[in-house]
A = this chain, B = another copy of it.
Amino acid sequence: MRLLFVLLLLSMSVGVRGVASVADEPRPKKTEKTKVSAEASAAFSGKLLVVPMDGSHWVGIKAMAQELGRRGHRVTVVIPEVSMRMGPGKHYDTLTHPVPYGQSEVDAILSTQKDFLETAQPFMERIETKYHNFVRMVNFIHVTAESLLFNDTLISYLAKQDFDAVLTDPMLPTGSILARKLGLPTINLLRGIPCALDMKAAGCPSPPSFVPRPFTGLSDRMNFKERLINTLVALLEPLFCRLLFWRFNNIAHKFLNEEVSVAEILSESDIWLLRIDFTLEFPRPLMPNMILVGGINCYLRKPLPQDLEQWVSGEHGFIVFTLGSVFSETPEEITSVFVEAFRQIPQTVIWRYTGKVPDNLPNNVKMMKWVPQNDLLAHSGVRAFITHTGSHGTFEGLCHAVPMLMFPILGDQTENAVRMAKKGAGIMLDISTVTTEGLLQGLNELINNTRYKENIQRLSALHKDRPVDPLELSVFWTEFVMRHKGAKHLKAAVHDLNWIQYYCLDVAALLAAIVLLFVILTVKCMKLCLQKLGKKKKQD
Could you tell me if B468 and A468 are in contact, using CB atoms closer than 8 angstroms? Answer: yes
Could you tell me if A39 and B31 are in contact, using CB atoms closer than 8 angstroms? Answer: yes
The answer to the question of A480 belonging to the interface, with a C-beta cut-off of 8 Å to chain B, is yes
Q: How far is the CB of A192 from chain B (nearest CB, A)?
A: 15
Could you tell me if B207 and A205 are in contact, using CB atoms closer than 8 angstroms? Answer: yes
Which residues of chain B are within 8 angstroms of A502 by Cβ–Cβ distance? Answer: 207, 209-210
Could you tell me if A35 and B32 are in contact, using CB atoms closer than 8 angstroms? Answer: yes
Contact A210/B494 with A35-B34, A39-B32, A228-B510 known, Cβ cut-off 8 Å: yes
Which stretch of A11-19, A261-269, A408-416, A459-467 is in the interface? A459-467
Which residues of chain B are within 8 angstroms of A210 by Cβ–Cβ distance? Answer: 203, 492-494, 497, 502
Chain A residues 426-441 with CB under 8 Å of chain B are none
- Contact mask A480-507 → B, CB, 8 Å, 1/0? 1001100001111110110001111011
The answer to the question of A37 belonging to the interface, with a C-beta cut-off of 8 Å to chain B, is yes
Could you tell me if A465 and B492 are in contact, using CB atoms closer than 8 angstroms? Answer: no
Chain A residues 453-485 with CB under 8 Å of chain B are 461-462, 465-468, 472-473, 476-477, 480, 483-484
The answer to the question of A150 belonging to the interface, with a C-beta cut-off of 8 Å to chain B, is no
The answer to the question of A100 belonging to the interface, with a C-beta cut-off of 8 Å to chain B, is no
Which residues of chain B are within 8 angstroms of A35 by Cβ–Cβ distance? Answer: 32, 34-35
* Complex Cα spacing A411 to B81, Å: 61
Chain A residues 501-524 with CB under 8 Å of chain B are 501-504, 506-508, 510-511
Contact A461/B490 with A34-B468, A507-B228 known, Cβ cut-off 8 Å: no
Which residues of chain B are within 8 angstroms of A31 by Cβ–Cβ distance? Answer: 39
**Which residue of chain B has the shortest Cβ distance to A206 in the bound complex?**
B205
Could you tell me if B468 and A484 are in contact, using CB atoms closer than 8 angstroms? Answer: no
Chain A residues 353-374 with CB under 8 Å of chain B are none
- Contact mask A303-330 → B, CB, 8 Å, 1/0? 0000000000000000000000000000
Which residues of chain B are within 8 angstroms of A461 by Cβ–Cβ distance? Answer: 484
Which residues of chain B are within 8 angstroms of A504 by Cβ–Cβ distance? Answer: 207-209, 227, 231
* Complex Cα spacing A286 to B227, Å: 22
* Complex Cα spacing A221 to B495, Å: 10
The answer to the question of A176 belonging to the interface, with a C-beta cut-off of 8 Å to chain B, is no
Could you tell me if A462 and B489 are in contact, using CB atoms closer than 8 angstroms? Answer: yes
Q: How far is the CB of A511 from chain B (nearest CB, A)?
A: 8
Contact A493/B231 with A205-B205, A209-B502, A467-B34 known, Cβ cut-off 8 Å: no
Could you tell me if B289 and A283 are in contact, using CB atoms closer than 8 angstroms? Answer: yes
Which residues of chain B are within 8 angstroms of A480 by Cβ–Cβ distance? Answer: 465
Q: How far is the CB of A486 from chain B (nearest CB, A)?
A: 11
**Which residue of chain B has the shortest Cβ distance to A484 in the bound complex?**
B462
Could you tell me if A287 and B288 are in contact, using CB atoms closer than 8 angstroms? Answer: no
Q: How far is the CB of A244 from chain B (nearest CB, A)?
A: 24
Could you tell me if A284 and B492 are in contact, using CB atoms closer than 8 angstroms? Answer: yes
The answer to the question of A5 belonging to the interface, with a C-beta cut-off of 8 Å to chain B, is no
* Complex Cα spacing A472 to B466, Å: 12
Could you say which of B285, B467, B473, B501 contacts A205, with CB atoms under 8 Å apart?
B285
**Residue from A204, A227, A289 with most neighbouring chain B CB atoms (10 Å):** A227
Could you say which of B39, B466, B492, B506 contacts A220, with CB atoms under 8 Å apart?
B492
* Complex Cα spacing A203 to B220, Å: 13
- Contact mask A193-212 → B, CB, 8 Å, 1/0? 00000000001110111100
* Complex Cα spacing A489 to B461, Å: 12
* Complex Cα spacing A32 to B36, Å: 8
Which residues of chain B are within 8 angstroms of A231 by Cβ–Cβ distance? Answer: 504, 507-508, 511
The answer to the question of A255 belonging to the interface, with a C-beta cut-off of 8 Å to chain B, is no
Beyond A209-B494, A283-B489, A462-B484, 19 additional contacts (C-beta under 8 Å) are A32-B38, A34-B37, A204-B285, A205-B285, A209-B501, A209-B502, A220-B493, A221-B493, A227-B506, A227-B507, A228-B511, A231-B504, A282-B492, A283-B491, A283-B492, A285-B287, A462-B489, A467-B476, A468-B468
Top 6 A-B residue pairs of the complex, sorted by shortest distance between their CB atoms: A220-B493, A205-B205, A32-B38, A285-B285, A283-B492, A34-B34
- Can you list 18 A-B contacts with CB-CB less than 8 angstroms, sorted by A residue number? A31-B39, A34-B36, A34-B37, A36-B467, A37-B465, A207-B502, A209-B502, A220-B492, A227-B501, A227-B506, A228-B507, A231-B507, A278-B288, A283-B489, A283-B490, A283-B493, A286-B287, A465-B483
